[in-house]
C-alpha cells in the first residue's frame, strides 16, 4: 500500500491504534473482543488507494528489495528485482546478509565474493565489506552484516530493474553462498 492511513477501526466502529512507517502498517489488536466468525478491521485512507503491483517505494522513500521477492538464476548467478521509483534522486545502496553455519562458529560467506550491481543504466562494482554488524533479531546466534555499496541516481519517476550479478546466493543455514537478506536503497 502506498497511501497514507487516515484511521483504522473495527466494523462496529471501535477505533484502533495504528502506526504507519513507510510501506508498513501496524495495527494494535490487543484488548479487542474477538468475533466468533471473523473480526473485521476497516482501514481508511487519506486519498485514493494506491497499491503497488511490483515492489514499490515506501512513503519514507526507502526501496527494499527482499531476497525472497527477487528472481535468482543460479546458473548465471544473477538476482533481479523490478521496482517503482516515485521520488527521483540519489540513493545509497546497502546489501544486508547474515552469517550462517554452526551456532558456536558462525561464518559470513560474503567476504570471498565479488560482483556487480546493474541499475538505472549504470554498473557498480561490488566488493563486499563488513561495514556494520548487529545481532540478527530473528536468528540471534548470527549477525546481520551491512555492506555499503555506493550510490545511484534515479533521474525520474518510473519502473527500474536492479540486477545483482556474480554472487552465489544460499539462503539456508547449511547451503553454500551468501546469506542475502535484502538490498536497501535509501535517499
Query: Considering the entire predicted model, what is its pTM?
Result: 0.70
Residue 128 CB partners (closer than 8 Å, separation 6+): 95, 97, 110, 111, 113, 114, 147, 178
Separation between Cα atoms, residue 125 and residue 95, nearest integer Å: 13
Separation between Cα atoms, residue 16 and residue 10, nearest integer Å: 7
* Arch. (CATH architecture) of 63-186: Sandwich (2.60)
Domain ranges of the chain: 5-45, 63-186
| DSSP-derived 3-state class of residue 14 | coil
**pLDDT string in tens for the chain (187-residue length):** 668 899 999 988 899 999 987 767 889 998 888 877 788 999 998 887 776 557 888 889 999 999 988 999 999 999 999 999 999 999 999 999 988 888 788 888 876 679 999 999 999 999 999 999 998 777 677 889 999 999 999 999 999 999 999 999 986 667 788 999 999 999 9
- Residue holding cell 546458473? 75
Amino acid at each position: 500500500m502506498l497511501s497514507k492511513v487516515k484511521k483504522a477501526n473495527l466494523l462496529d466502529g471501535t477505533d484502533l491504534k495504528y502506526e504507519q512507517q513507510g510501506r508498513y502498517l501496524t495495527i494494535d489488536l490487543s484488548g479487542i473482543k474477538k468475533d466468533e466468525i471473523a473480526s473485521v478491521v476497516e482501514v481508511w485512507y487519506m486519498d485514493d488507494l494506491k497499491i503497488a503491483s511490483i515492489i514499490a517505494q515506501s512513503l519514507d522513500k526507502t526501496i527494499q528489495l527482499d531476497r525472497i521477492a527477487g528472481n535468482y538464476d543460479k546458473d548465471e548467478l544473477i538476482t533481479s528485482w523490478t521496482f517503482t521509483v516515485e521520488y527521483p534522486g540519489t540513493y545509497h545502496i546497502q546489501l544486508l546478509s547474515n552469517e550462517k553455519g554452526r551456532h558456536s562458529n558462525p561464518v559470513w560467506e560474503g567476504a570471498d565474493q565479488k560482483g556487480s550491481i546493474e541499475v538505472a543504466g549504470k554498473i557498480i562494482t561490488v566488493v563486499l565489506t563488513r561495514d556494520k554488524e548487529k545481532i540478527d533479531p530473528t536468528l540471534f546466534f548470527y549477525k546481520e552484516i551491512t555492506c555499503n555499496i555506493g550510490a545511484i541516481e534515479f533521474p525520474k519517476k518510473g519502473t527500474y530493474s536492479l540486477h545483482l550479478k556474480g554472487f552465489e546466493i544460499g539462503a539456508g543455514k547449511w547451503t553454500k553462498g551468501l546469506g542475502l537478506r535484502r538490498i536497501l536503497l535509501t535517499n
